[in-house]
Amino acid sequence: MSKPKVAFYWCASCGGCEEAVVDLGPDILKVVEAVDIVFWPVALDFKREDVENMADGEVAVSFINGAVRSSEQCEMVELLRRKSGLVVAFGSCAHMGGIPGLANLFDRKAMFDEVYFNVPGVVNEEKIVPQEEYEAPEGMVTLPNLWNTVKTLDQVIPVDYYLPGCPPPVNLIVEAITAILKGKLPPRGSVLAPDIALCDECPRKETKPEKMLQKEFKRPHEVMIDPEKCLLAQGLLCLGPITRKGCGAACTKANMPCTGCMGPISKVVDYGMKALSAVASLVDSNDEEEIERILSKVVDPVGTFYRYSLPTSLLHRHYQPATQGGK
């Protein structure tokens, strides 16, 4: 029997997810032994035609990382969807939009204006911005279209499984690959990580007070953080209670609050709203002005609560009337 074929692809991402695959270390040899990697632009020299020439469904599983925000990325993931039995959204960006998803606070024009005109040091007197088509002496050259709105992978193609995390923890990758090879997969649509909040595996759990109330929120650079005490009890905005576990509490062990890259547990529809609700409930005051003052220390509600998940918010993006179109 021939080995199952596997593809890796990246869209709008930083490359950290590719690193996570390499972080498998010696285990990657076991993976290569069990499967044929047929497409992996960052590491192997296969081209788009190679994928196009495969039969539909020939690839057993495609691991796709990154958010989708251009016509090229859209075409590639559609192609991989057609050729693959399973598609796994790999990492926070494919899962929920990730850091690139925060671009949904702006639109394409605002981004182009900033990057090509307003950034100090940019000299662009002719006001040139990237053109999708350009008539060069050698002929017409084209560039992909950059969308106005960043999308998660499953807002573009149907996705079978999600591997959360920024990047996904190595042990979860190994477990997922093992489960796929053995055919022992949970129901389609599952997130391949435990469905319990992070506090469950946080070493600071025992120091979490019974009743958690705060008169003042603090930011990590403003205080000496006690390395053993519950971070929320110290007034730091740790999103552990609303975030899925599975990362081994890497951040809280490194004395930093959880920022929520693993996403919500399965019952939550809108991660950021749950996070906002949880944080607001900590406020120790019944007085309108004092509440306002305490909450003013949450300086960036969108970036705090939706750091990795803005495109999955019920609002999806910064408001623009529907007539402007989504792409």
For residues 75 to 114, the per-residue mask of contacts with another protein, x marking binding by CB under 8 A and - elsewhere, is ---x--xx--x-x-----------------x---------
CB of 324 to another protein, least distance (A): 7
Helix (H, G, I), strand (E, B), or coil: what is residue 288? helix
Shortest distance (Å) from residue 57 CB to another protein? 7
The answer to whether residue 18 forms part of the interface with another protein (CB under 8 A) is: no
- Considering only residues 157 through 196, tell me which ones interact with another protein, judged by CB under 8 A: 157-160, 162, 188-191
Signed CA dihedral, 65, 68, 70, 76: sign only: positive
Two structure tokens written together for 184: 């022992």
CB of 4: closest distance to another protein in angstroms?
17
67 touches 98 (CB < 8 A): yes
Structure tokens at 168: 């996904």
Q: Which residues 6+ apart lie within 8 Å of 116 measured at CB?
A: 122, 124, 127, 128, 129
273 is a contact residue toward another protein (CB under 8 A): yes
Listed ranges 32-40, 135-143, 173-181, 275-283: which one lies at the site for another protein (CB under 8 A): 275-283
Instruction: For the CB of residue 74, give the shortest distance to another protein in the complex, in Å.
Output: 8
Residue 276: CB minimum distance to another protein, A: 6
250-269 residues near another protein, rule: CB under 8 A: 266, 268-269
Residues 6+ apart with CB under 8 A from 196: 244, 245, 265
Backbone φ, ψ for residue 205 (5° rounding): -50, -40
Q: Residue 301 interacts with another protein (CB under 8 A)?
A: yes
Query: Does residue number 288 form part of the binding site for another protein (CB under 8 A)?
Result: yes
Measured CA to CA, the distance from residue 87 to residue 323 in angstroms comes to 32
For residue 293, give every residue at least 6 positions away whose Cβ sits within 8 Å of its Cβ, in sequence order, or none: none
Q: Could you tell me if 264 and 242 are in contact, meaning their C-beta atoms sit under 8 angstroms apart?
A: yes
The secondary structure of residue 218, as a DSSP letter, is B
156 binds another protein (CB under 8 A): yes
Number of residues that bind another protein (CB under 8 A): 62
- At residue 274, φ and ψ (nearest 5 deg) are -65, -40
Both structure tokens of 314? 């019920």
Question: Binding of another protein at residue 245 (CB under 8 A)?
Answer: no
- Nearby residues of 294 by Cβ (< 8 Å), 6 or more positions away: 214, 215, 216, 217, 283, 284, 285
Q: Which is nearer to another protein, 41 or 85 (CB)?
A: 85
- Least spacing, CB of residue 314 vs another protein, in Å: 4
Sole binder of another protein in the list 76, 231, 279, 308 (CB under 8 A): 279
Closest distance to another protein from the beta carbon of 233 (Å): 18
Report in angstroms how near the CB of residue 106 gets to another protein at its nearest.
10
Q: Give the Cα separation of 59 and 262 in Å (integer).
A: 27
Q: Quick check: 262 and 201 in contact, CB under 8 A?
A: no
Q: By C-beta, is 10 or 271 nearer to another protein?
A: 271
Closer to another protein by Cβ: residue 149 or 252:
149
Q: Which two tokens stand for residue 148?
A: 């106005």
- In the complex, the residues that contact another protein under the rule CB under 8 A are 56-57, 74, 78, 81-82, 85, 87, 105, 149, 151-152, 154-160, 162, 188-191, 266, 268-270, 272-274, 276-277, 279-281, 283, 286, 288, 291-292, 295, 298, 301-302, 305, 312-327
